[in-house]
Amino acid sequence: MKKNTLPSRLLSLGLAATLLLPLGLKAQPASSATGSGNSPVAATATATGSLASIQAPEEFIRQLSQTVLDRIRQDPELRAGDLRRVSRFVDESVMPSVDFERMTALAVGRGWRQATPEQQRQLMAEFRVLLVRTYAGAVAQVKDQQIRLKPQRPTTEEGEAIVRSEIVSSRGEPIQLEYRLSRTPSGWKIYDLNVLGVWLVESYRNQFAQEVSAKGVDGLIRSLSERNRQFAQAKP
């Protein structure tokens, strides 16, 4: 598989995610995540979960993005790229706001419909590891970035939204960033991201389709697993 630079560009801004983060196993309630429910990260997850159910999608994105950036700036273990800390942070603060199952299904495409429930579980797990490792290596770049919302375009599909924003900092040009969201019983959920004209799901779908066509769903799972293994061995 060719190395994809898009997740690194996204996650270097401390936004996963919202990835993801595309980014992990299907989002779990903050109370079920590892660690104390009284931790600042768990509190963040609870707060953002409440926001998703009552706010307009653009305001939800603004507050969620700023909260993620602030948490990274305040946590030296996150900025150092500690994998366990980043993984916990993603699970507790990011994943409750992401429909990761839908994101993975869209990225895998036709192969997802062919996959068994166990294969789907493995695909989500390996995809999560891939993105969390990318995230862990990039959060140290988060410094003075801020979120600025842009005029929104109405969508034709009920229960769907596209939020347009840009990341601004004291260095370089603003980075254009769009989110695709869907309204669920628990509030708005992110399922795709667009950075500089490239949609995250589409970027991965092109790669994954080649793997599934050549080696089947199991081949894609093995390829992701091997890529994650090599990445882990390369770490000092």
Number of structural domains in the chain: 1
For residue 183, list its beta bridge partners.
188
* Residue 174 placed within a domain: yes
Please state, as a whole number, how many other Cβ atoms lie within 10 Å of the Cβ of residue 227: 16
Q: How far is CA 97 from CA 63, 156, 200, in A?
A: 12, 22, 16
Q: Which pLDDT tens digit goes with each residue over 142-151?
A: 777 788 899 8
Q: Is 50 exposed, middle or buried (0-12, 13-18, 19+ CB in 10 A)?
A: exposed
**Predicted local distance difference test score (pLDDT) of residue 232:** 78
The domain of 149 spans 6-234
Q: Which pLDDT tens digit goes with each residue over 37-75?
A: 444 444 444 444 544 556 789 988 988 888 888 888 888
Q: How far is CA 212 from CA 47, 48, 123, 160, 217, in A?
A: 39, 36, 12, 29, 5
| Confidence label for 137 from pLDDT (cuts 50, 70 and 90) | low
What amino acid occupies position 49?
G
* Residue 222 placed within a domain: yes
- Report the CATH number that the domain containing residue 157 is assigned in CATH: 3.10.450.710
| Confidence label for 29 from pLDDT (cuts 50, 70 and 90) | very low
* Residue 14 placed within a domain: yes
pTM summary value: 0.73
* Residue 76 placed within a domain: yes
**Predicted local distance difference test score (pLDDT) of residue 52:** 52
* Residue 217 placed within a domain: yes
* Residue 1 placed within a domain: no
* Residue 202 placed within a domain: yes
Spatial contact of 94 and 196, defined as CB atoms under 8 Å apart:
no
* Residue 150 placed within a domain: yes
